[in-house]
Amino acid sequence: MTPLLSVRNLKTHFFLDEGVVKAVDGVDFDVFPGQVVGIVGESGCGKSVTIKSVMQLIQKPGRIIDGQILFRHHDEAGRETIIDLAQLDPHGKTIRSIRGAEIALIPQEPMASFSPVHTIGDQIMEAILLHLDVDEEEARRIAVERLHEVGMPNPEQRLNAYSWELSGGLRQRAMIAMSLACNPRLLIADEPTTAIDVTTQAQVLNLLLTLQKQHNMAIIFITHDLGVIAQIADFVVVMYLGRVMESGPVEDIFFNPQHPYTKALLESIPSIYAPAGKRLPTIEGSIPHPFSRPSGCPFHPRCKAFMPGVCNAAIPKLKAINDRQSVSCFLYDHAPAIVEGS
Amino acid sequence: MSDDRVSEANQEAQEARHADLTALSEWNQARLEDEREDAAAIHVAPNWKLTWWRFKKHRLALVSGLVVILLALIVLFPGFFSTMDPHKSRAQQSFVPVQRIHFIDDGAFRPFVYGIVGRRNPETLRMEWKIDEEKKIPITFFARGFEYEVLGLFTTNIHFIGVKEGDIEENPIYLLGTDRLGRDQWSRLMYGTRVSVSIGLISVFVSVFLGVLLGGVSGYYGGVPDLIIQRMIEILQSLPAIPIWMALTAAMPRDWSVEQTYFAITLILALIGWTTLAREVRGRFLVLREEDFVMAAKLSGATQSRIIFRHMVPTFYSHIIATATLAVPVMIISETFLSFLGLGLRPPAISWGVLLQEAQNLQSVAIAPWLLLPGLAVIITVLALNILGDGLRDAADPYSH
Amino acid sequence: MTQYIIKRLLLLPLLLFIFSVFAFFIIQAPPGDFVTSYIAELAASGSSMDQAQIEALREQYGLDQPLIVQYFRWVGGMLRGDFGVSLDWKRPIMELIKERLLLTVLLGAATFIISWSLAIPIGIISATKQYSFIDYFFTVFNYLGVATPTFMTALVLMWLAYSYFGISVTGLFSPEYVDAPWSLARVIDLLKHLWLPALILALDGTARLARVMRANLLDELNKPYVEMARAKGMSEWRLVLKYPVHLAINPLVSTIGWYLPMLFSGSVIVATVLNLPTIGPLLLRSLTNQDMFLAGVIVLIYCFLAIIGTLISDVLLAWLDPRIRMEA
């Protein structure tokens, strides 16, 4: 099966006065139709920049400088062609016809992502009118239907509500309704549950999974929360400092992690089975300043398996170690692959 | 994963390592350490240093800073920068045009100005001035001229620029021409700068004092004092400033001395000026009051004045400086127009507004367009102060980017 | 919404009361009363008054009464539409200011329209094309606009028009229409003259507003709702105009609160330089001639216009921003 989305060696850098921030520096992953891919990593690992690159939403001074983002695009005539999103003009017509219609976004902060001076109905109907050939009345009907679908009570009346009049959970539901307005084939959810409380979080996750099955969408789900990943994802991509450390099916990542970073991450999850009084392991050190990226493998200063002269000399490539998992680590790759050039 | 495997890999890789790779990684290491040191310096730098670092990047603001320093020098030593007595009228020399300084004479650095010859037009009976290229008046730096007082301490007759030989009254140089009464506009501009800029500075100083005091009380204590001060500010701010200023200055007795009117105008300008600052200070206090570090200071038993002056004020004094810098030009323009309308300072006082009064008459301006030049001084000063203030404000705000 | 406006309207009499006390204070501020200056004026022209006449005059205007009684007489008169008499002009104040007030408001409105219709596009272009040539160009323009006192612009334009084209740009009417009754031709003549002073006055405000607009819009452009609108597939211009511009204009509307009063009162100087028949030059003349009742009334009018300005901005803001409607 060909993937719906295939990201190859994506590099997105930000050119600031103080220097270049390599927010995403060589990322590879695939998303298959109907699959839920979870991208997990600490804040600042480049997961948000990755998906913004996919949607061509990177603003100056950032730029996609290398790599491919191959997407199975359905053009107006309904033909399927594979296009490289990385090559598209960020303001161009093609990417705009994909955004919202084929690839939709659920943002991190539903509160700030709705305009406070426009009604929710206005903003949802706008998404519909942009991509579907319908009149205003039909758009209103679809908007109500979507709001109903996401479990919004009294959807007709909510159309006239402002985002700040809704509770956190309802606001996120409205946001999901807006994203689903045009039946996208790929939904990108950027930490959609961080801003809401845990109970509502579970409801929203369940809702997303239900809708995913109904619409047979693929979802890229971004989070720093491994618990959420375990609940929702089929396939997991672990990122650190702009690079993929490990990727694989969710059960392998959780029960058979290979990369030292993945192991460290999993160890630092608090567990109710852990013996009382035992300290929770943490990852030594802290994420480096964006201007002072470590040489070689970005994780080496904090890595328990650090090999001097190897890990800090070259960047390991992401390689398949079995038919399920891929890892970028010299523990599995004996010859240093790329020597850092800069 | 087994330890064997790690050491095995380790060994293999170490063997494979090339010499240049070592060099590269050492270089990387050194670079990393440098960067860490830079980052460490940023972490421990005091607030004013951070502000200065950011400010330095703003080129235009730096240039404006230099202009402001020059202005300050003129305000302190107007006599030194003058060439001729600003009060002296020369009936025979009205509306003499600008005499430009030429620096190069016969290929050598010998600054001079051309002389001027006047001829009375038999029809209009007006003096008409022509540049006399035959006559060169050599000029020099640190020349002797009229006597003036320095900061009220002592008198001297040394001037920045003057004629090389002889008395300047006999070989006059009018760098900005003369006015209707034959007074030297350049020297008048120097003395006018002292008055106009210092009025701006002092009234802002008074505004800052009132603003910080009342805004601080309002923001720190809240409650009834806050309510009263807020209403007071609202009323004062909804007053139309210009007519009020006009009415108040017009109410000043005509027989007041120059000094009395000077201070009265300063106070009148400050009366409305403090409200903006008070609002800003109050806003800051309201936010800061809720901050954890203030709570921490309170819990560790710091006195109220210590909390205010050691913990709260240092976080926003750069903002106060920036806001005050931006308020100075407003005051300067206000003084200028009041004096321009004849309501503020009156002759024999010299201020930019008084100078520009000479340009009110369209006939005079048509003959002597250089009478508009003091306006340029106003524009340059206001421009420099505004850019400087903006630069300071941007530099003072760590969260702006 | 209506509740909010009513609340604001209820504040109006209170503010007017405070301002009337203030204006009365201004009337009383110069030493002596206007009869004293009247006598001085008569003496200057060679005639004189005897003591009985003086007393009669004082009594006629109630100047022998305590201040508080004088104040209420003055305010009471104004409430009945009687603004008193200008001693300088020897005419009822109402008659003096009627047309001038209309022209003042007209000039203010024209200035307002010009400055807003220039400032908003300038602000939008500067913010969306941040750090581009056009942004720097407008930044320079804005700095110069703020730094140049309006009367300097007026003086320079007058000088240029006079010495290069030999025309006078003063006044609001051609000579033949100055005292003519209102007619269509007079209105057209007014419009022909109005634009220049309005443009001069608008320069300063345009610069300030454009700066505020640029800063506000730059803030709004980084908000998540802008990215969301992009993610929906909206075109850049359409989304900028619909969302961030709308939100950036709201704080701008609140500047009407100070901008309108500044417009009316700031025109005093330009009106004096250009000799416009507005209330500004009248205020200057009344102040220099110690015609304090006229001065007091004009100051009060300016205060009134200022309050109206604040009121307009409040209502507009509530209309534009649903969040403020809710609070009220």
- Given the DSSP bridges, would you call strands A243-249 and A235-240 parallel, antiparallel or unpaired? antiparallel
Residue C307 is part of a domain; what is its CATH number?
A: 1.10.3720.10
- In this structure, are B133 and B259 located in the same domain? no
In chain A, which residues have their Cβ closer than 8 Å to the Cβ of C242?
A: 118
Residue A107 is assigned to a structural domain of this protein: no
Last residue of a domain, one of B173, B207, B232: B173
Could you say which of B12, B24, B39 has the minimum Cβ distance to residue A289?
B39
C295 inside 8 A of chain B by CB? yes
Residue B53 is assigned to a structural domain of this protein: no
Residue C182 is assigned to a structural domain of this protein: yes
* pLDDT at residue A307, as a whole number: 85
Residue B256 is part of a domain; what is its CATH number?
A: 1.10.3720.10
- In this structure, are B165 and B213 located in the same domain? no
- In this structure, are A91 and A219 located in the same domain? yes
Q: Is B195 helix (H, G, I), strand (E, B) or coil?
A: helix
Residue C4 is assigned to a structural domain of this protein: no
In chain A, which residues have their Cβ closer than 8 Å to the Cβ of B16?
A: 335-336
- In this structure, are B129 and B223 located in the same domain? no
Q: Are residues A4 and A72 in contact, defined by beta-carbon separation less than 8 angstroms?
A: yes
Residue B6 is assigned to a structural domain of this protein: no
Contact assignment for B1 to A331 by CB distance below 8 Å: yes
Residue B291 is assigned to a structural domain of this protein: yes
Residue B50 is assigned to a structural domain of this protein: no
Residue C293 is assigned to a structural domain of this protein: no
Domain span at residue B107 reads: 100-173
Name the token pair of A244: 């993929």
* pLDDT at residue A98, as a whole number: 92
Q: What is the pTM of this model?
A: 0.80
- In this structure, are A231 and A220 located in the same domain? yes
- In this structure, are B145 and B199 located in the same domain? no
Q: How far apart are CA A115 and CA A111, in angstroms?
A: 8
Q: Span A120-131, mean pLDDT?
A: 93
Q: Say how many CA atoms lie within 13 Å of C288 toward its Cβ.
A: 12
- In this structure, are B164 and B191 located in the same domain? no
- In this structure, are A157 and A189 located in the same domain? no
**Which residues touch B255 (CB under 8 Å, ≥6 apart)?**
none
Alpha-carbon distances of B199 from A68, B259, B264, B320, rounded to whole Å: 64, 11, 10, 19
Q: Which of residues 164-183 of C touch B (CB under 8 A)?
A: 168
Could you say which of B5, B21, B36 has the minimum Cβ distance to residue A313?
B21
- In this structure, are A83 and A125 located in the same domain? no
The total domain count for chain C is 2
* pLDDT at residue A335, as a whole number: 47
Residue A35 is part of a domain; what is its CATH number?
A: 3.40.50.300
State residue B254 phi and psi, 5-degree precision.
Answer: -70, -25
| ipTM of this complex | 0.86
- In this structure, are C63 and C142 located in the same domain? no
Q: How far apart are CA C240 and CA A165, in angstroms?
A: 24
Q: With a cut of 80, say whether residue A116 has pLDDT above it.
A: yes
Q: Are residues C266 and C8 in contact, defined by beta-carbon separation less than 8 angstroms?
A: no
- Is the preceding omega at residue B86 within 30 degrees of 0, hence cis? no
Domain span at residue A216 reads: 1-102+184-277
Alpha-carbon distances of C87 from A12, C45, C288, C313, rounded to whole Å: 77, 15, 13, 37
* pLDDT at residue B248, as a whole number: 85
- In this structure, are C33 and C140 located in the same domain? no
Could you say which of A91, A100, A107 has the minimum Cβ distance to residue C224?
A107
Structure confidence by residue, pLDDT tens digits, C18-36: 888 888 887 777 666 667 7
Name the token pair of A225: 């929360």
- In this structure, are C61 and C127 located in the same domain? no
- In this structure, are A177 and A190 located in the same domain? no
* pLDDT at residue A126, as a whole number: 93
* pLDDT at residue C66, as a whole number: 80
Residue B124 is assigned to a structural domain of this protein: yes
- In this structure, are B204 and B341 located in the same domain? yes
Name the token pair of C171: 């006044």
- Is the preceding omega at residue A61 within 30 degrees of 0, hence cis? yes
Last residue of a domain, one of B115, B145, B173: B173
- In this structure, are A31 and A172 located in the same domain? no
Average pLDDT, chain C: 84
Q: With a cut of 50, say whether residue A271 has pLDDT above it.
A: yes
- In this structure, are C126 and C52 located in the same domain? no
The total domain count for chain A is 2
Q: How far apart are CA A328 and CA B75, in angstroms?
A: 68
State residue A320 phi and psi, 5-degree precision.
Answer: -70, 130
- In this structure, are C146 and C39 located in the same domain? no
- In this structure, are C272 and C198 located in the same domain? yes
For the ranges A65-74, A103-112, B147-156, B195-204, which has the lowest average pLDDT? B147-156
Which of C12, C18, C28, C155 is the mutation pick for testing B, counting most B CBs within 10 A? C155
**Spans in chain B with pLDDT lower than 70:** 1-48, 397-401
Structure confidence by residue, pLDDT tens digits, C153-182: 888 888 888 888 877 777 788 877 777 788
Domain span at residue C40 reads: 15-79
* pLDDT at residue A120, as a whole number: 93
Handedness of CA C41, C46, C52, C57 (dihedral sign): negative
Last residue of a domain, one of A223, A250, A277: A277
* pLDDT at residue A31, as a whole number: 94
The total domain count for chain B is 2
**Neighbouring subunits of A (3+ Cβ pairs under 8 A):** B, C
Q: Are residues A238 and A247 in contact, defined by beta-carbon separation less than 8 angstroms?
A: yes
- In this structure, are C61 and C193 located in the same domain? no
Q: Is B285 helix (H, G, I), strand (E, B) or coil?
A: helix
For the residues of B290-329, what is the DSSP string, one character each? TSHHHHHHHHTT--HHHIIIIIIHHHHHHHHHHHHHHHHH
- In this structure, are C162 and C268 located in the same domain? yes
Residue B54 is assigned to a structural domain of this protein: no
A257 inside 8 A of chain B by CB? no
- In this structure, are B217 and B71 located in the same domain? yes
Highest mean pLDDT among A207-211, B162-166, C318-322: A207-211
**Which residues touch B127 (CB under 8 Å, ≥6 apart)?**
B92, B93, B94, B95, B118, B119, B120, B121
- Given the DSSP bridges, would you call strands B102-105 and B108-120 parallel, antiparallel or unpaired? antiparallel
Residue B8 is assigned to a structural domain of this protein: no
Average pLDDT, chain A: 88
* Residue A273, burial from CB neighbour count under 10 angstroms (0-12, 13-18, 19+): exposed
- In this structure, are C68 and C123 located in the same domain? no
Q: Which of A152, A137, A220 is nearest to A184 (CA)?
A: A220
Last residue of a domain, one of B109, B142, B173: B173
Q: Span C44-48, mean pLDDT?
A: 72
- In this structure, are B203 and B304 located in the same domain? yes
Last residue of a domain, one of A183, A214, A232: A183
Last residue of a domain, one of C79, C105, C120: C79
